[in-house]
Structure 1
Amino acid sequence: MNTLLRPFQLAAAALLMALVMQSHAHAADKAAIQSHTADVNGVNLHYLQAGKGKETPVVLLHGYAETSHMWLPLISQLSDRRTVIAPDLRGAGSSSKPDGGYDKKTLAQDVHALVQKLGYRKVKIVGHDIGLMVAYAYAAQYPNEVESIVLMDAFLPGVGDWTKVWLLRDLWHFHFYGEVPLKLVEGRERIYFEHFWNDFAADRTHSIPEADRQFYAAEYGKPGGMRAGFEYFRNFEQDAKDFAGFAQTKLTMPMLVIAGEKASGQFLIDQGKLVDTNVEGVIVKGSGHWLMEEAPEQTIPALVAFLNK
């Protein structure tokens, strides 16, 4: 009997060992993502950092209604051969929330100052939503310091026929700032953000996960968080002027544009071609605006493949 049981015992032990090793590997991955802060460009920026290696560092920039937290699934896919940096933009998450400086040109200068402080001379940069505007402003101001750039679902103010973009169907929230709007959303941050998480998704039941919704609502509910978030939109008029000027000189580094089929789609790819001479476009089938959450099985491999070139 013992002879018959022996193979099963060995198999069970091997399976147990594999599960333990996998658990330790997941714990190590989580522990490898470190949280830091840095005083740069007159603000205190919180950022996540992971990985090391000789390949060009990657900077990941989040959008509105999210923070650096959105990039956790991607960080572990990129940090095996390079440093990955994911800051909370000025005004978001655990970064400071000053009265001004929410035009995307200044937000990009914040991130550039962080990169410089960390000692990196050149980066690859990725941005989603508001983050893509900051990524473009970074590349336009420091083109010799950007090896490649990724723009993920939103639009570039001031570039081409930008007022026809899909996201502008909800123009009301671009003007939603000041005393009364702040009083309306105080303590109701989750209700306000549900509009974006639900209505900008292809399927509201397959959008931002519940745990993340709770996390983001709490982050923007911190003192000054909602006011700062409103300022991202309030500055679009200035951004449009800045970007129209930037677009006069086309970028030449490789650019990947990833857009949701049910969101920005071909429009953002066409905008990318107006500002860069070397553009690759990917439309994520069946996805709305929240690419990382709605279609990670399409989005993450596309990002990894491009950034690993």
Structure 2
Amino acid sequence: MKSLRTLKRLGAALFCAAALAPALPTTAAAAAQSAAITRHDIEANGLRLHYLQAGSQQNDATPVLLLHGYAETSHMWQPLMAQLGEQRVVIAPDLPGAGNSDIPAGGYDKKTLAQDIHAMVQALGYRKVKLVGHDIGLMVAYAYAAQYPGEVESITLMDAFLPGVGDWQKVWLLRDKWHFNFYGPTPLALVEGRERVYFEHFWNDFAADPKHSVPEADRERYAAAYARPGRMKAGFEYFHAFPQDAADFAAFAKTPLTMPMLVLAGEKASGTFLFDQARLVDTNVQGVVIPGAGHWLMEEAPAPTMAAIEQFVDSTPAH
């Protein structure tokens, strides 16, 4: 029986004709890091999803699933993939609508996106994962864990918030609340051809120091990725779905999770707010504030961020 997602999208999904060419490494170290990362496509839940993969199955280690946020793609995870991939399989998909994954006609609420990613994991043959999500990706990660708790051994949430949980309307990122209503023909027309200008707001204003935020080469890459037909509209839909996400997450929170949860937040961004939210949805939470960092943890503070994730992933036993 076809899933609801498949029925919604039958004949409506847009297919990628080709993947973006990978950025050339600028240093020998970068070349060594990216050498083991491969690109793939897979059909799941009526979509073709693009993903990066590193590592190999060793000692029955549970795969790690990395979920990117807005204004970025799976590319953001490459340094962490090289590091974690020494011990296990690491998978980083482009979320539906982003990067080189299909653009669905609807279903941008995080509950449905999590179902899409879960279908991908199942299609790859994995029954359990350890989740890591940043920004919009942390919302998808939480929705995944809430729907499939027996299939998630641990979860890491990185600097954003959970709509509908606790006093979520007061989160730091909501100073940008205008953006939640920024969708439709007029916003699309305003941003078309100015994608880089538009994204500079996020990369600069949500960083502790704009000069030490998302690197120039990655800014060019992401702006070009979202400038492709249909991508910006899809990006806006991640935010347009927040009212539905709030309702879904409030319902999820009634049944707290029990798997180990790590929360990472930038000192100059969310601070401890996400810690408080996390403790409303999970009984086993530890939080780490990354000193001096803003929202873009992987770019602003890669060493402490990756060290915290690696230690947590390696230390959390089967759930």
User: What is the TM-score of this pair, normalised by structure 2?
Assistant: 0.88
C-alpha displacement of 1:220:
0.5
> Which residue is equivalent to 1:272?
278
Q: 2:82 aligns with which of 61, 71, 76?
A: 76
In 2: Cα distance, 1:261 partner to 1:96 partner: 35
* TM-superposition CA deviations, 1:148-179 (whole Å, max 9, x none): 00000000000000000000001111100000
> Which residue is equivalent to 2:239?
233
In 2: Cα distance, 1:55 partner to 1:27 partner: 26
* TM-superposition CA deviations, 1:43-68 (whole Å, max 9, x none): 11100011112210000000000000
In 2: Cα distance, 1:30 partner to 1:176 partner: 35
Q: Secondary structure at the match of 2:117?
A: helix
Q: Is 1:157 aligned with 2:163?
A: yes
> Which residue is equivalent to 2:199?
193
Q: 2:47 aligns with which of 43, 46, 65?
A: 43
Moved more, 38-47 or 251-260: 38-47
C-alpha displacement of 1:27:
4.7
* TM-superposition CA deviations, 1:227-247 (whole Å, max 9, x none): 000000000000000000000
Q: Is 1:31 aligned with 2:35?
A: yes
C-alpha displacement of 1:30:
2.3
Q: 2:185 aligns with which of 179, 182, 185?
A: 179
* TM-superposition CA deviations, 1:91-140 (whole Å, max 9, x none): 00001112201000011011100100010010000000000000000000
Q: Is 1:296 aligned with 2:284?
A: no
Q: Is 1:126 aligned with 2:104?
A: no
* TM-superposition CA deviations, 1:211-233 (whole Å, max 9, x none): 00000000001110000000000
Structure 2: state its 5+ residue gaps: 1-26
Structure 1: state its 5+ residue gaps: 1-21
In 1: Cα distance, 2:273 partner to 2:36 partner: 37
Q: Which amino acid letter does the alignment assign opposite residue 234 of structure 1?
A: H
C-alpha displacement of 1:28:
5.6
Q: Secondary structure at the match of 2:207?
A: coil
8 Å CA contact retained: 2:33, 2:78 = no
Higher helix share: 1
Taking only aligned residues, the RMSD between alpha carbons, in angstroms, comes to 1.2
In 2: Cα distance, 1:27 partner to 1:212 partner: 15
> Which residue is equivalent to 2:13?
none
8 Å CA contact retained: 2:50, 2:93 = yes
Q: Secondary structure at the match of 1:308?
A: helix
Q: Is 1:58 aligned with 2:79?
A: no
Q: 2:120 aligns with which of 92, 96, 114?
A: 114
Q: Is 1:223 aligned with 2:224?
A: no
Q: Secondary structure at the match of 2:35?
A: helix
> Which residue is equivalent to 1:16?
none
In 2: Cα distance, 1:247 partner to 1:106 partner: 17
Larger Rg: 1
Counting matched residue pairs gives 287
In 2: Cα distance, 1:189 partner to 1:44 partner: 25
In 2: Cα distance, 1:177 partner to 1:167 partner: 18
In 2: Cα distance, 1:67 partner to 1:115 partner: 18
In 1: Cα distance, 2:124 partner to 2:104 partner: 23
Q: Secondary structure at the match of 1:126?
A: strand
User: What is the TM-score of this pair, normalised by structure 1?
Assistant: 0.91
* TM-superposition CA deviations, 1:238-267 (whole Å, max 9, x none): 000000000000000000000001111110
> Which residue is equivalent to 1:247?
253
Moved over 4 A (4+): 25-29
C-alpha displacement of 1:31:
2.8
Report 1:92-103 matches (<5 A): 92-103=98-109
In 2: Cα distance, 1:61 partner to 1:87 partner: 7
> Which residue is equivalent to 1:3?
none
